[in-house]
Amino acid sequence: MINALARCEFLGSEPARWRIAMARNSRTDELEERLVEFAIDIVTLVGQLPHSFQSKHIATQLLHSGTAAAPNYGEARAAESRADFIHKLKIALKELNETAIWLRIIGGSFAVDADFLTRLVAENTELCKILVASIQTARRNNKADQG
């Protein structure tokens, strides 16, 4: 479905950034960038947590789920079929759903920047809505192609 041969491209040096240059589509590029920025913000939040047994456990879980949506979306963009695309989008959505729970736990358990956490929760909600709409559209298109 989406065949994209990727190439790495260096984008500056402070800090060093790499971009995968795929078939360009402004909406999909924008969503991927939002997911990457969200992952970076999750890393920042985890860095603000206190150093304790409890926070280490939660930080590990949040790092896993909160940074997984971006690469899973990247995989979806390179899906081999529409079914594969839908499956990979659903994995990204599951990771964001898990992240929402961890963010609520952090908000109730630790003293963190409330505005930053509120912004993360809002962005997570928006990203979930976008992925749900994308999954629904892909399913409709899949049915139309088969029907």
Average pLDDT over residues 13-36: 66
Residues of the chain with pLDDT > 70, as a percent, come to: 82
Q: How far apart are CA 25 and CA 19, in angstroms?
A: 14
> What three-state secondary structure class fits 22?
coil
pLDDT in the model for residue 24: 57
Who has greater pLDDT, 9 or 5?
A: 9
- Has residue 82 been placed in a domain? yes
- Has residue 59 been placed in a domain? yes
- Has residue 5 been placed in a domain? no
Tokens for 128? 């979930």
Tokens for 79? 């899906």
- Has residue 18 been placed in a domain? no
Least confident of 12-16, 58-62, 125-129: 12-16
Q: How far apart are CA 116 and CA 127, in angstroms?
A: 16
Tokens for 100? 């929402």
CATH number at residue 59: 1.20.1440.60
**16 confidence band (pLDDT: 50, 70, 90):** very low
Say whether pLDDT at 90 is over 60: yes
On whether the CB atoms of residues 82 and 141 are closer than 8 A, the answer is yes
The pLDDT tens digits for 127-140 are: 999 999 999 998 88
- Has residue 19 been placed in a domain? no
- What is the pTM for the complete model shown? 0.79
For residue 9, what are the β-bridge partners?
19
Say whether pLDDT at 86 is over 50: yes
- Has residue 68 been placed in a domain? yes
Question: Token pair 């990457």 is at which residue?
Answer: 36
Number of domains the chain contains: 1
> What three-state secondary structure class fits 40?
helix
- Has residue 15 been placed in a domain? no
The residue range of the domain holding 115 is: 25-146
- Has residue 102 been placed in a domain? yes
